[in-house]
Structure 1
């Protein structure tokens, strides 16, 4: 459905340190740093997906979207918990309920939410069963 997801950061070096470790939990390789039209970016490829962190193109500070959540699929509850715990250890803030199992319209899911150091809301998700 998506070709890529791109978010802004006010500190690309900090973002790369954070995402190299956090996305490494789910098996992604370290990000590839590059410059595009004078902007610093770091890109990650994993499971056919592309995730990019960039300095904002308009030169303004990076901000977060109210209501936005970036979800990352995990292979187990333990991996989702590690995603959360690694994020918090690297400066993220745990948000919403504690990591755990929730009943949702999409079925039973293990969910763990954090806000990255730039304030973007991330969710580590492991589906326990398909929606009925």
Structure 2
């Protein structure tokens, strides 16, 4: 399990708006802004849970952010409808299609997922599995 995921952002306002819309579909809420001496950004978490957390922010090294080749962030959804809603919201807010919602039986029985890229090219998956 992970404690937090952090993606770099070049156009931070655009990325925050994208994730604010998409992550709300999954029930995640925005963290209060805190001056933690790190670069500017925003974070989200499940209500009433400290961890895990998800962040978009400017890179610590000051260089432009870039999407990782072979990197994917997957968000668990409560049901298939939530997968569909998150994916459609992502596309409406500047994301690009990488695979429409549907069953992916080669990943497991009842594995229902959708794939997209955020506005800066990071690959995302929204998934609900029968066993969760």
TM-score scaled by structure 2? 0.88
Determine if contact 2:75/2:126 at 8 Å carries over to the other structure.
yes
Q: Which residue of 2 aligns with 1:14?
A: 14
Determine if the alignment matches structure 1 residue 26 to structure 2 residue 26: yes
Determine if contact 1:16/1:42 at 8 Å carries over to the other structure.
yes
Question: Which moves more between the two structures, 13-22 or 115-124?
Answer: 13-22
Determine if contact 1:112/1:125 at 8 Å carries over to the other structure.
yes
> Any unmatched runs of 5+ in structure 1?
none
> Any unmatched runs of 5+ in structure 2?
none
Alpha-carbon spacing, 1:40–1:107, altered in 2? closer, same or farther (3 Å): same
Q: CA offset at residue 107 of structure 1?
A: 3.0
Alpha-carbon spacing, 1:31–1:86, altered in 2? closer, same or farther (3 Å): farther
Q: Which residue of 2 aligns with 1:115?
A: 117
Aligned residue pairs, count: 129
Determine if contact 1:6/1:53 at 8 Å carries over to the other structure.
yes
TM-score scaled by structure 1? 0.88
Q: CA offset at residue 35 of structure 1?
A: 4.6
Determine if contact 2:8/2:65 at 8 Å carries over to the other structure.
yes
Alpha-carbon spacing, 1:14–1:33, altered in 2? closer, same or farther (3 Å): farther
> As a proportion of its length, which structure holds more strand?
1
- Which residue, out of 41, 46, 53, partners 2:56? 53
Q: Which residue of 1 aligns with 2:85?
A: 82
Runs (4+) off by over 4 Å: none
Question: Which moves more between the two structures, 24-33 or 69-78?
Answer: 24-33
Q: CA offset at residue 105 of structure 1?
A: 4.0
Alpha-carbon spacing, 1:105–1:14, altered in 2? closer, same or farther (3 Å): closer
Give the distance between the partners of 1:2 and 1:27, measured in 2 at CA: 18
SS at match of 2:68: coil
